[in-house]
């Protein structure tokens, strides 16, 4: 847990275990997130929370949250799948699944602080490499570069229907 002051807004960063209660708290932000960044808007958001619960039971899920202390509410999250890479069994790696901050907390440095907090705890868990996917339309690559990340590959998609 880490308490930080961001432009006079007290926020709390913490790692939280998966629970359906936390999922219910994340859901409204996730809907805002989907509205903002979904590439294929005709594919509805339909989260498989049971798959997240299974990943958590297998020790593969890490959830880091950012909460506005004064308002006692969730304002951001970073979720990672952590496991040995299929090509490098001896290397524990983390793949960012979803990362979101409400817009009013982005310019205060909250995104960088949340990622740095997650990186610190992931390193403590033995993670050697962290990957982030970045949508071209919502490029936070410059922030990742400031945190020491480097571009590695490009992901392409094709609609088949």
pLDDT in tens, 112-153: 999 999 999 999 999 999 999 999 888 999 999 999 999 999
Task: Indicate the CATH number for domain 2-146.
Answer: 3.40.630.30
Output the 3-class SS for 19-32.
CHHHHHHHHHHHHH
Count CB neighbours of 99 within 10 A.
20
Confidence of residue 71 (pLDDT cuts 50, 70, 90): confident
Domain ranges of the chain: 2-146
Report the 10 Å Cβ neighbour count for 2: 14
Beta-carbon-side half-sphere exposure of residue 31 (alpha carbons within 13 Å): 5
- Kindly report the backbone phi and psi dihedral angles of residue 17, in degrees, each rounded to the nearest multiple of 5, phi listed first: -75, 155
Q: What end-to-end distance do the CA atoms of the chain give, in Å?
A: 45
């Amino acid at each position: 847990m880490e308490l930080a002051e961001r432009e006079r807004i007290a926020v709390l960063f913490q790692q939280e275990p998966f629970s359906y209660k936390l999922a219910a708290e994340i859901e409204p932000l996730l809907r805002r997130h989907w509205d903002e960044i979904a590439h294929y808007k005709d594919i509805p958001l339909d989260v498989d929370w049971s798959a997240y619960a299974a990943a958590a039971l297998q020790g593969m899920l890490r959830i880091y949250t950012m909460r506005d202390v004064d308002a006692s509410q969730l304002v951001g999250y970073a979720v990672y799948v952590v496991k040995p890479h299929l090509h490098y069994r001896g290397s524990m790696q983390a793949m960012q699944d979803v990362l979101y901050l409400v817009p009013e907390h982005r310019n205060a440095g909250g995104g960088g602080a949340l990622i740095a907090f997650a990186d610190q705890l992931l390193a403590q868990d033995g993670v050697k490499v962290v990957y982030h996917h970045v949508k071209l339309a919502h490029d936070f690559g410059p922030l990742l570069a400031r945190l020491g990340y480097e571009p590695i590959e490009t992901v392409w998609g094709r609609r088949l229907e």
